[in-house]
Structure 1
Amino acid sequence: MAYGQPPYPYTPPPPLRPWWQTSGARLAFIGAAAVIIAIVEALGILFMFASIAMIWISTGGLRHPWRVWQRIAATVGTLLLCLIVAGIAHPVKKKDDAKAAATPAATSVSKVPETPAPAAAPQLSDYTGKALSEARKGAEAAGYTVGNRDASSESRGVVLAANWTVCFQKVSDLADGKKGVDFSVVKEGEPCPKEDGGALPWPVMPDVVGATYNKAMADLKAAGVPLDRVKLEDVYLDTDTPTAEQAAKDGEEWHVCFQDPGKDGKVTSTTTVRLDLGKWSDASLVKKCPAAKGTTYQIPANDPDYKRPGTSTGDDDSSTSGGSTGGGAKTVNPGSFCSPAGAVGTANGKTYTCKGPGQNRWRQ
C-alpha cells in the first residue's frame, strides 16, 4: 500500500449539504415567515409557501434528513403557526365594529330625541265621476276626514249623498296631522263645471222650427241636448202623435212646427224638450204648420163642421158633412175624426159613435 493512500476499500466522504437544506435553515425560514406575516400579511404568505417548499425539497442526490411523517408534521405546523399569527396581527373587523370606528366619538352634549317622521298618507282612489256616497265610504276607509260642497256657483246644500256626483277632489293636511279630502259635487245628471265653483255648462236649445224630424234630432244631439228628454206632440186635430220610432221611420215627412224651450233656452236636468210635429208629403193638401197647435185639421174633410161644396144643411143637429137621413141622425164618414166625444151618426144604415181610443173617430 502506497504511502498516503487510504486503506482499501476506499469510501469517499458524503457530499456537503447546502446550507438552505439544513434543518436549521428550514426551521429559520418557518420562523421568518411567521414574523413577516405579522408585519406584512401578503409578503408573509409568500414566505410561508417558500418555507413549505423548503421542507420537502432535497437536491444533489442527498437523502432528506427528515422522514415523510416529519415533513407532513412540519407542513401542518407551518400552516397553523402562520394562521395563528395572522389572526392575531390582522383580525377581521366586524361590520358593527367598522361602523363604530367610522362614527365620531360621542360628545358630552345630550342628544335631542328625534321626532318620528309623519306616516305616509294612505293611498286615495280617484272618485271623479263616482257617486258621493261611494267616495265618502272609500275615503273614510282610507283614514281621511271627508268634506263636500257644491261644485257649482249656486252654493247649494248637499243632501242625500247618493244623488250627487263627484267632479273634483282635493286632499289637504289637517291641524291634527291627519289627512282630509274635500269632494266638490253636482246633482246626479248635471254636467260638471269647467272649474270648481264655476257655472254649470247646461246645453242650450238650437232653433229647429221648420226642420224635418231627422234634421232636428241631429241638431239637438250636436248641441248636447239629451235625446231621451225629447217628447213628441202632434199639431193637428186629425193626426195621432207619433212615437220616436215612427217619426224616425218617416223622418223627412215629419216637420217641427213648435219647440219648447225656445232658441237658446237652457236644458237642465229637469227640462223636458217638446217638439210639436206636423206630417206632410208632396201629395198632401196641407204642407205647412198651423198658426197654433191643436186648432185645425190637416185634412179639411175630417173637420166635423166641414161643408162640402154644393151641399147645405139646416140649423138643427141632424146636419152633417155628408147630409142627413130622414130619421134626423147625422150622416158621417166612418173612420174620420169627430167631435164631441159620444156623438152619434149613421152611414150606410149603420150607427157610428164618436169615440177613441186615441183621437176621436167615428167608430162602431
Structure 2
Amino acid sequence: MNPYSPPTRPTPPARPWWKTTPAALGMIVLVALIGALHFPLGFLALIVAIVLLWVLPPWRWFARLGASFGAFILLAIGAGLGGQLDDTGKDKPQQVATESRTASPKASPSKKPERKAPDYIGEQLDEAEGKARGAGYTVGHHDASAENRAIVARSGWLVCFQQADHDDSRRLIDFAAVKEGETCPKKDGAEIPWPTMPELRGKTWQVAVVTLTGIGVDEDAIKAEAHYVNDDLPDGAYDSWRVCTQDPAEGEDITADVTLELTHPKAGCSTDGSYLGDKDHDGRPNYRDSTDDRNTTSGGGGSDSSSSGGSSSATGGSSSTGGSSTTGGSSSTGGSSTGGSSSTGGSTGGGGPTAHPGSFCAPAGATGVTTAGTPMVCGPGSDGRNRWHAA
C-alpha cells in the first residue's frame, strides 16, 4: 500500500428505492391521481404520503414541509379536475332525496284518509254552521237559487246543498241555502220551482189547506183572514168557512205566504161591499145576532112592544086604536081603554114581503123590506142562488 496515497472512504450502502427522492415525488403525484378519481380515498392517501415524507427521504425539515404542502395542493387540483369536490357536496342531498323518494310510498299507507263531512242538509243555516265549526271546519254560505241573494238572517234559511273540501291546513265546507218555506232547486244555482196557485174560491178552509200543502206549500205559510171588516174568525174553528178571495191569484207563482179571506157559510161572499149587515148596530153581523137584529125598546107597565102599527089616545072617554091586535098592558081614563099594538104580520105598510138578509128568495128582482124597514132585493148570491140582499 502506498503510504502517500490518501485513504479511500468506504462506499456508503445503496438506499432502498422507496427512500429515494424520485420515490417520494412519485408518491406525491400518486396522491393527486387518486384524489382525482375518488376524493375520500385520495385524502387518506395524502395522510399516508405526508407521514412517509417525514420518515423515509433524507430531507431537511423545510423540504419535508414543502413536500407535504405540495401534496395537499396536488390533491385539491386533482379532485377539482376530476369533479370529486362537486360530487362530494352533492352526495348527502342526493342521498336524502333518494331516501325521501323511497320513503314516500311507505308513508302514504300510514296517512289517515280524509273523513267524510257530516250531513247538514235540511237544517237551519246558523245551526249547521255552528255544528260544522265544532267539527273543525271553516264554513261559508251562499244562496242556492239563481237569484244570488245576500244571506242576512241565517236562522231564516235552510241548507239545500253542501260541498266539503280541504287545503294544506284547513278543512272547508260551503253551504247553499234557501229561505224557509221555499223549495230547494234541482241543483245549486238553478231556479226555484215555485208552486202555482190553484183556484180556491168557494172551497172550505180545510179543503184549501189540503190542496196547497199537496203542491208543496208549507202549512205555516197559509194565512186566514176574515173577508168582512166587521166579522171575526173564531179561534181555530173555521174549517167549514169558505174562501172568498185569495192572494196570490190563480195561476201565479207562490213565492211567499198565501192569504185566504174567509166567510161563514151563512154570510156568503158578497160583491156589494166589505161590511155585513148589522141592523141593530150592536157590532155583530146579522147572521150572528141571536135577536135577529130587531130593534128593541121598553114599553110602559113592564111590557115589550115592537114596531107598533097604530096609536092610541084617551080624551073624554073616547079611544082610538089603529092596531090589529093588542098586546101589553091597558090603561083606563074616563071609562075608555087603550092598548098598544104590534105588527108581526107578513106585510108592512105596502112595502113588500118581509125579507131576511141572506135567506133564499124568488123570483129574481123581487123586492121586500126587513122588519127594520131596510129595502131589500132578490138576486144571485156568491153561490149562484137567489138570496135577499140590500137594495
TM-score (norm 2): 0.42
TM-score (norm 1): 0.44
